[in-house]
Structure 1
Amino acid sequence: MINHSLYLRLVHPRPRLLQTIAMGALSALSVISGIVPAEMAQAQPSTTDLEQYKNIAVQIEQQRMQDYAEVKRLMGGTVPESVCQRGDIPPKVREICDRFEKNSRDIIQANGMSVPKFNEITRYCQQSPKPRDCPR
C-alpha cells in the first residue's frame, strides 16, 4: 500500500546552488519524516552537524536532480508538483519515488547521521526567519 503522506517534490533545478540544496533537503525531509511530533526540541545544531547536514543535502540534491530528469522523461516533459503524492502516476514513476526515499535515507545514514537528526536540522532550518547558519 502506498503511503500518501510521503512527499517528494521533484522541481526543476534552480539557478542558485544553495537554494537548490535547501529544496533537496526539504524534499528529503518530506519523504523520510512521516509524522513528526511537534514537541521535539529545535535546539541550534552544532557547526559540525550543520556542515555534515550541508554535505548530505548536496548528495541528496544530486540524486533528486537525476530522479527528476528520469521522471520528466517518463512523463513526457511535464512533471506535476508533488508528483509522488499523486495516486495516478505511472508505476515506473512510483518506483522512482520509492527509490528516492530509500536512497535519501541511505545517504543520510552512510554519512553518519541519523534520519531523526537530519529531520531535526531540517526543521531548525525551516524556521522563519531562516537561521543564518543554514544553507540558503
Structure 2
Amino acid sequence: MKKISHRFLRLNLIRILSQSVFVGVIATTSLVSSVWLINSNAYAQNPPTVSSNEIISYAKTMLTMEPLRQQAFDEIKKMIGSKEVPQIVCNDKNSFNSLPNKAKDIAVNYCQRYQKVVEDNGMTIERFNRITLEVQNSEDLKRQIYNTLLRLQKNPES
C-alpha cells in the first residue's frame, strides 16, 4: 500500500512541478521577448504554423533558461534587498536603469545568454518571439509545448 501511495505522490509532484515550470517559463519568455517583438517585422494575420522541430527547440530553450532565470532573479533580489525586482526587458535599456550596477550586469548577462540559447537551439529571436505570441493565443500549441516539456524532462536525450 505504501508503494502505491508513494508512486501516486511522486506522479503528482512531477505533474505539479512540470506545470509550475511551464507557467514560469511562459511568463518569463513573455517578459524577455516583449521588446524583442517591437524590433521584429510584422507578420500576416495568420501566422505560420509551428513545426514539430520548432516546438522541440522552443521547449529546449525554455528548459535551459528557466533555472538561469531563477538564479539571476535570486541574485538580483539579494542585491536590491526588500525592494521589488523591477520588470526587466532585454531590449529596453531603460528597464535596467533602476538596478544597481552589479545587478545590471547580471541582467545583461542573462539577456545575452537567453539570446545565445535561442540561437543554439536553431531559432532566431524573431521566430522564438512569434511562437511565444502564438502560444499565448493557442491552447493547442500550448498543449503541444507542455507535452514536449514533459517528454524532455523525462528523457532529455529525445
The two structures share one fold, judged by TM-score above 0.5: yes
Q: Which moved more, 1:63-72 or 1:110-119?
A: 110-119
Aligned to 2:102: 92
How many residues were matched structurally?
A: 122
Q: Using the alignment, how far apart are the partners of 1:75 and 1:124 within structure 2?
A: 34
Q: Using the alignment, how far apart are the partners of 1:49 and 1:25 within structure 2?
A: 15
Change in Cα spacing, 1:31 to 1:74, as seen in structure 2 (3 Å) is farther
How do residues 100-119 of structure 1 correspond to structure 2 at under 5 angstroms? 100-119=110-129
Q: Using the alignment, how far apart are the partners of 1:56 and 1:96 within structure 2?
A: 19
Q: RMSD over aligned Cα, in angstroms?
A: 2.5
Q: TM-score, normalising length from structure 2?
A: 0.64
Larger radius of gyration: 2
CA contact 1:71–1:93 (8 Å) conserved in 2: yes
Aligned to 1:12: none
* Residue 82 of structure 1, CA deviation: 0.9
Ranges in structure 1 where 5+ consecutive residues have no aligned partner: 1-14
Runs of 4+ with >6 A deviation: none
CA contact 1:22–1:135 (8 Å) conserved in 2: no
Q: Using the alignment, how far apart are the partners of 1:129 and 1:30 within structure 2?
A: 20
Identity %: 20
CA contact 1:25–1:60 (8 Å) conserved in 2: no
Q: Using the alignment, how far apart are the partners of 1:46 and 1:21 within structure 2?
A: 20
* Residue 72 (structure 2) pairs with residue 62 (structure 1): no
CA contact 1:105–1:115 (8 Å) conserved in 2: yes
Aligned to 1:133: 144
Q: Using the alignment, how far apart are the partners of 2:96 and 2:127 within structure 1?
A: 28
Change in Cα spacing, 1:87 to 1:79, as seen in structure 2 (3 Å) is same
Instruction: List per-residue Cα deviations over 1:43-97 (Å, max 9, x = no partner).
Output: 2201221121011111111111110010011011443341561522211111111
Q: Using the alignment, how far apart are the partners of 1:89 and 1:101 within structure 2?
A: 15
Change in Cα spacing, 1:113 to 1:39, as seen in structure 2 (3 Å) is closer
Ranges in structure 2 where 5+ consecutive residues have no aligned partner: 1-18, 90-94, 148-158
Q: Using the alignment, how far apart are the partners of 1:54 and 1:88 within structure 2?
A: 31
